[in-house]
Structure 1
């Protein structure tokens, strides 16, 4: 059976993707019109098949090759070869090294106090801004904090100017994405190229300083990524590339996931009250959890999981077939790109009733039982899934616990939060919120909540958008 999809366009599909606002939003439209399996045009791929059904995704879980042309926009980041497309024989030992560091509970526990200090410092700064009546920009501050956390955890050092480094990542990636989608730059091409070169030089210099600090400190333990790479015999250029890739992935995933979670809790005060009630019961007067306390915060975890379902930090992935592949009634030819639209998978109504509603209880053991294994894949799946998934969940849960134990978050009136594609699922104008201390603002928050009253009934098709984003 022929795989359904839109008619080919002379521009190779670039126009349709740009018109939708990016590849992540385009995939939602594609599957809404053509069903769970759809072919489409993708820059860098002659044949692309998108799969939004978690049951059918099982047939692709063994694929261990990423399409090189699709990830070539990241080539300039790396010196020793693009880490996103390493062949399987190189990727497997490199992945084992990363997992030995990033996925180990002992190293998570060892870094927990340092993480807590960084989270508490951010809470202090936000509390001071709140006292002055200033809004906070969640994604800007949280991505910078996440960058500091990953450097402290896996690289054995502190990064200078995390805000500047995070901005440099955005500068480089914006340029690469414009080239990938053939979007005319907003500034003069020469100026754009010079800005990108300066940003990339800053990133590489930052990595060199982190590695130099590591060597001077002589660290060698289970949470030492650089040491593990040296012991594994990796070349200096590959070590620098791995550090850069780790910084890139880690600061995006954690910061973006926490910011979307706080956004959703700000739009759903009943869920926020339930989270803080759980924190109060478990922590008492303590301002932050210990590592063992995270297991005692099940509702906090379900809120995070539901947030990552609605706003997966990495909204898509891709693999390439080496031979023909059967997907239900369809056959995907050898050499085709199999596209994983995580956002569309997470909003598939066949597996998620009322998919755009924010409902953390979806992730209780009772409701999760029997659900397709790949219905929730914010970190990908298979042999190319995210090596830092376990670490990211620890960081996110800790950050949320520290921030929500101390502060209340509410949306800035009139500020629209619009998802946008910037390598991860970003917010076009950040997520700006007002913060206040929980203790002194409890009565005012409750009176405001009372005035809102119960949610008004909306026509089908409009309520979901309000529930997920707060837009009308």
Structure 2
């Protein structure tokens, strides 16, 4: 067995290296560029950590069903019945089964599709009304939309003030994520107090929604003998995961399409061909929009909403020429996996054509893992794809998107892969083919010949 390469140990447990790189996701990119597909490194909160960016080697870890408790400790305050991110396998298996029985069901997706379409149409109308006043902020508004959708789906009703809920989630994550790295920046004082107040508000919102009536999800959790506290924790965590990841994935996709006019024109042509004069697809239409799906997947490859995951080995593993002892944190650097040039030539280029059936068949199973892998992968992956494709279809059918000149779009690590100062776009209503302020519009194919 070979010794796993990696940087020399640091007295602070690797914290300064992570901070200097701007976060764990960019740190992983640097490590794998320098040391190869398997890297030993120091990770705050882990006794020993190994990062794996080779999809073939990831196969050996796919059945690991434990997560490192210390690494996910920052999410513990969101849960009163035990941190859902680190439940022992014996508790996690029945919870996962209950979640999949609802979140992964095609019939359930189809049953909620009309409500999702109505919510998306309401956002499009608001954007049309506001666009004359200036650019829209994609991440903020699309996160709100995703939150409304998951409330409709999981709870059977909406919430009165989604903007406040989105803000509260941001405050909670910012406050408690700071504790993971022990910067002191958010770990005490006013910031932590605001995080605690925001968490209290979120719990009140969930309690109010639950008290108003059950839902398929709540009923499934109750049938699985989950305690009331576990039910509430689960709903809260699903709201957290769903509203961030879906909204961010759609935002990055619109960002990339706006910067690749030929790809945008192809997506819109497909929509026009399938939908005709209709403003939104039916559920069955999603299968007839392959290029839209490919553009979404390519966006999630370049900007995976959740940039990493982690497991903890319970027994010794062999990864190629390396031995991984029990008790090691296996780090999944999704971004580094998705940019591995061995499986993704010219990895930073936006090319939806990478996701044709033929192209996908030529890559390892775990070369593309935006929702994780194995028994701790995202239970809501199927639902997220339905939501994202629907939202993209409605918005691209209604608007042309033009980036705001001079506005930088810089990805940063904030639990999800977020744009530091949002993603701002100017909109043109395709129904009139003129922007709201009367400027002459530029069609998506007028310049640029990339992104096919």
TM range (shorter): over 0.9
Q: Matches of residues 125-140 of structure 1 in structure 2 within 5 Å?
A: 125-130=126-131, 132-140=132-140
Deviation of residue 445 (structure 1)?
4.0
Whole-angstrom CA distance in 1 between matches of 2:443 and 2:422: 28
State the match for 1:205 in structure 2: 204
TM-score, with length taken from structure 1 = 0.92
For residues 288-313 of structure 1, what are the alpha-carbon distances to aligned partners after superposition, in whole Å with 9 as ceiling and x for unaligned?
A: 00000000000000000000000000
Q: How does 1:72-151 map to 2 (within 5 A)?
A: 72-130=73-131, 132-151=132-151
Residue 303 of structure 2, aligned match among 287, 307, 311: 311
Alignment partner, residue 293 of structure 2? 301
Separation in structure 2 between the aligned mates of residue 64 and residue 298 of structure 1, nearest angstrom: 33
Does the 8 Å contact 2:259/2:403 carry over to 1?
yes
Cα displacement (A) at 1:448:
8.2
Structure 1 position 335 matched with structure 2 position 327: yes
Q: How does 1:432-471 map to 2 (within 5 A)?
A: 432-441=424-433, 444-446=440-442, 450=446, 452=447
The aligned residue for residue 172 of structure 1 is: 172
SS in 2 for 1:64: coil
Q: Could you state the TM-score of these two structures normalised by the residue count of structure 2?
A: 0.96
From 298, 306, 314, the counterpart of 1:322: 314
Q: 1:191-217: CA deviations, max 9, x gaps?
A: 1122111101011001101101124xx
Query: Does structure 1 conserve the Cα–Cα contact (< 8 Å) formed by 2:260 and 2:448?
Result: no
Aligned to 2:60: 59
Taking structure 1 as reference, are residues 275 and 447 closer, same or farther at Cα in structure 2, changes over 3 Å only?
A: closer
The CA deviation string for residues 110-166 of structure 1, in whole angstroms up to 9 with x for no partner, is 000000000000111111122x14111100001111011001012112112111101
Q: How far 1:444 sits from its partner (Å)?
A: 4.1
Q: How many pairs align?
A: 446
Cα deviation per residue 1:266-288 (whole Å; 9 max; x = unaligned)? 10011111111000000000000
Question: Which structure 2 residue ranges, 5 or more long, are not aligned?
Answer: none
Distance 1:174 1:3 in 2: 33
**What are the within-5 Å matches in structure 2 for residues 381-400 of structure 1?**
381-400=373-392
Structure 1: runs of 5 or more not aligned: 456-466, 468-472
Contact 2:46 2:329 (8 Å CA) reproduced: yes
1:353 shift after superposition: 0.4
Q: CA RMSD in A?
A: 1.5
Are the equivalent residues in 1 in contact too, given 2:306–2:417 (CA < 8 A)? yes
Alignment partner, residue 228 of structure 2: 236
Q: Is the 8 A contact 2:41 2:49 kept in 1?
A: yes
